[in-house]
Amino acid sequence: MQATNGSAGSRRLGGRVVTCVLMLALLAAAVVFPAAASAEEAAPAPAGPIYMALGDSISYGYSAQKFAENYPTESPSRFETGVANDLTKTLRKTIGKNLDLVNLACPGETSNGLIGENPLLGGEVSTEEEDPPAAFQGPGDWHPCAYHNADGFPLHAGYGKLSQLETAINILTEPNKITGKPNVVKAITLNIGNNDVLGLLNQCKFEHPGNELQALLCFEAKISSETIPRVIKNVRDTLTQLEAVYSGPIIMFAGYDPLSFVDLGFDKIAVGINEAFQAMIPSEFPHTTLANPFPVFDKGGPQSETQGEKERLKQKKAICKYTEMCNPNVQAPGGQPAGEDGDIHPSAKGYKELAKLAQAAYEANPAK
C-alpha cells in the first residue's frame, strides 16, 4: 500500500508501486484442524450477535489521507468509514439492529501474519525478524500484525501477539466472557494477499537497488512460482480452519486492479485468479461466497491491445471513482501518470460499493 510517512507504520503498508505491480486481492483457499491459540488473550467479544471482519488495510478501512492527517496517533476511530462499517449497517437490516462489528483487520497484514506462527493452524515459526530493516515482510516472517505488534499502532479490536485466525477461532469456540454461552457469530468477511504481492515487490527492489529492470525480472520470476502458491495455501488453510468450527456465512473479497489504466496486462492476472477462486468455492468451501469488485472497479476491463479509447476512459473513470488513485491529496511525488498515481485503497464510494457487493454475496450464501 502507499506509504504516506517515513514512519515504520506507513512503511509496513507497502511501498510506492513501480509501474508493473498488480494489486490483487489474491484469493484461493487448504487443510488442517484448528487448535487453541497462544496464552495471550484477546479482548472480550460482545455479548450479542457478531459480524467478524478479517483481513488487511481494506478490511480495516485504511486511507492514506487519513493516515497522514492522523499521524502519529492513528486512532482507529478515524478509520471507521470502511467496508466493514458500511457492511455492518446493511447487515443490521437483515440480522438485527443489535449486531456488533468485531474488526480484527490489520493494515499491512500478509497471509502469513493472518495465520501466525501456530503450526496446527498452518503457520510456521518465523525465520525472519519481526521488524526487519528492509521494509518488507518476506516469506519466512509469520509474526502477526506488524502494524500493531512491531510499530505500536492501535487496532479496532486489539489482540496482542495473537494472530487474526487465532483470535477468530477463540471467538468461535470459547464461551462469551459476559454471558458464559457460545458467541453468536452471524457473518465473517475475509480479504488478504495484497501485502504478499507488495512484499515481493519491495523485496525485489531491495535486492536490486536502483535497477528497476532487475527488480521487475525478480518480481516476474517469483510471483507465480513462490508468492501466489503461498497465498493460495494460506488462504485455503484459513478458510479450512474457519469452516471447521463455523457453519455460518463467510464472504471472501476478490481483487481489483487499481493500476489497470497504467499497466496493460496485469488486470488479466487478477481476473484469472478471481475466476479460479470462484470455481473452487462450491466444492471446497460450501459456506463461502465471493464478493467480486473487479467488474465495477475495473469497468470495461480487462484491457487488451485492441481495446478502444472509449473503453479505456470508462475503466479509468471507474478507478478514479472507486479508489483514491486520483485523489490530489495523496499523489506520489513525481508520480506517473501525474495526478493519477495516488492511493490504491478504495475511496468512500469504493468502500460503500464493496459493502454492497458483500451484502449481495451474503444474501446468496446458503449458510446464512
How many C-beta atoms surround the C-beta of residue 43 within 10 A?
14
274: Cβ–Cβ under 8 A, 6 or more apart, which residues?
A: 27, 254, 255, 290, 292, 294
> Which of 266 and 223 is assigned the larger pLDDT?
223
Query: Look-up: residue for cell 462489528?
Result: 101
How does residue 132 score in pLDDT terms, banded at 50, 70 and 90? confident
Q: Domain residues of the chain, as ranges?
A: 8-255+264-291
Residue 290 confidence (pLDDT) above 90: yes
Query: Look-up: residue for cell 501466525?
Result: 116
| Phi and psi angles of residue 55, each rounded to the nearest 5 degrees, phi first | 150, -155
- Fold of domain 8-255+264-291: Rossmann fold (3.40.50)
User: Which tens digits make up the pLDDT trace of 30-86?
Assistant: 333 333 333 345 567 898 999 999 999 999 999 999 999 999 989 999 999 999 999
Distance CA 304, CA 322 (A): 22
Distance CA 86, CA 97 (A): 14
The three-state secondary structure class of 26 is: coil
| Predicted pLDDT of residue 277 | 77
| Predicted pLDDT of residue 43 | 65
Per-residue cell: 24: 490483487
Residue 54 · residue 35 · CB < 8 Å: no
Query: Average model confidence (pLDDT) for the chain?
Result: 84
Residue 105 · residue 59 · CB < 8 Å: yes
| Phi and psi angles of residue 289, each rounded to the nearest 5 degrees, phi first | -125, 160
Residue 142 confidence (pLDDT) above 90: yes
Q: CA triplet 307, 309, 315: central angle to 5 degrees?
A: 80
| Predicted pLDDT of residue 41 | 52
Distances in Å between the Cα of 94 and the Cα atoms of 50, 77, 366 are: 13, 25, 15
Lowest mean pLDDT among 24-28, 64-68, 348-352: 24-28
Q: By percentage, how much of the chain surpasses pLDDT 90? A: 60
Residue 7 confidence (pLDDT) above 80: no
Q: Model's pTM, two decimal places?
A: 0.88
Residues in the chain: 368
Across-strand partners of 51? 101, 187
Distance CA 80, CA 84 (A): 8
